[in-house]
Amino acid sequence: MRFEDISAEKARQLASEEKWSAAQDLVHNDQVHFRYRTPDRLEAAVQDKENWYPTVVSIVDGKLESICSCPQQEDGWCPCSLAVLVAWLENPDSFLDRSSLKEQLKQYSKSELIKIILEMSDKIFETRELLKEESPDLDTLLESVDHIFAEAGTAGAEGTGELEEKLRQAQDKADRLAQMGRLSEARATYFYLLDNVYGLEEDLGKSGLFSEDLKQELFEEYCQLIHEDRHLDRTLVQQEMEQLESRSAFVQGQFNFGDLKKNFVENVA
């Protein structure tokens, strides 16, 4: 299933006519903001009166799933999550492609990015709150990743969508480390995420447990951080790569370290 294949008729079957009507009102009153998309994920922030609800609609194992923090989410599909689908159906171009956006941002200089962030902080309250957050601590971050995967191991293959949401939050903190110039710590976090993702798939015998989109993001960012780190511990990175290559789920996947090992590992003294 792709989001492009979803029809209004199919989406309307997810909830009552009352909720569908409320979702349409949210969209038509311009209350669905900050729209992003990936191949299997739609994200937005839905404004309901004075409250803001981050909302995610995902395709998991060929089925639509939603995550929202609003009170009505407990009853299944809420007006917020339906509003994200309505917004997509009415104007898919309004959703920014997150992958393309990352590539665009890489073209800006550091001073240009700082200017963009400061301008955002003047306009968007959530940005100011993010900037006030304390600097991430690597040990605490890795402990939180341990906790996420401990819960996942208990739950098995169920609830993968919610698990990926938590992993992306850890990914955001790793990106914050990188933005602060703490590249080795950011790389260590990305390695830890990759190793646990493939380790859990290996333990459960399900190589497709996590979305390819998530694994590709983790892999590409890990490799990018290796390229950017001028003080790279090559021996440590070689050990990390060997650890990932020992995972059968990683070996069976679409990624490999061929070119990276040639450039950054074979020159180890």
Q: What is the pLDDT of residues 189-236, one digit of tens each?
A: 999 999 988 988 888 777 778 888 889 999 999 998 988 888 888 888
Full-model pTM = 0.51
Q: What number is the average pLDDT over the span 11-36?
A: 92
Encoding tokens for residue 222?
């890990």
Among 80, 108, 132, the domain boundary falls at 132
Predicted pLDDT of residue 269 = 43
CA distance 254 to 244: 13
Domain that holds residue 109: 98-132
Residue 127 shares a structural domain with residue 16: no
CA 45 – CA 24 distance, rounded (Å) = 15
Q: Are residues 74 and 176 in the same domain?
A: no
pLDDT of residue 73: 75
- pLDDT grade, residue 30 (50/70/90)? very high
- CA-to-CA distance for 161 and 59, rounded, in angstroms? 9
Section 110-130 average pLDDT: 69
Highest mean pLDDT (candidates 65-69, 91-95, 149-153, 209-213): 91-95
Residue 237: strand pairing partners: none
Q: Are residues 149 and 127 in the same domain?
A: no
When divided into structural domains, the chain yields a total of: 3
Maximal CA-CA distance, the chain: 68
**Per residue in 121-141, pLDDT tens?**
666 555 555 555 555 677 888
Residue 120 has what pLDDT?
67
**How much is the mean pLDDT over the chain?**
83
Average pLDDT for 49-67: 87
Phi, psi torsion values for 171, nearest 5 degrees = -60, -40
Q: Residue 58 CA to chain centroid, in angstroms?
A: 11
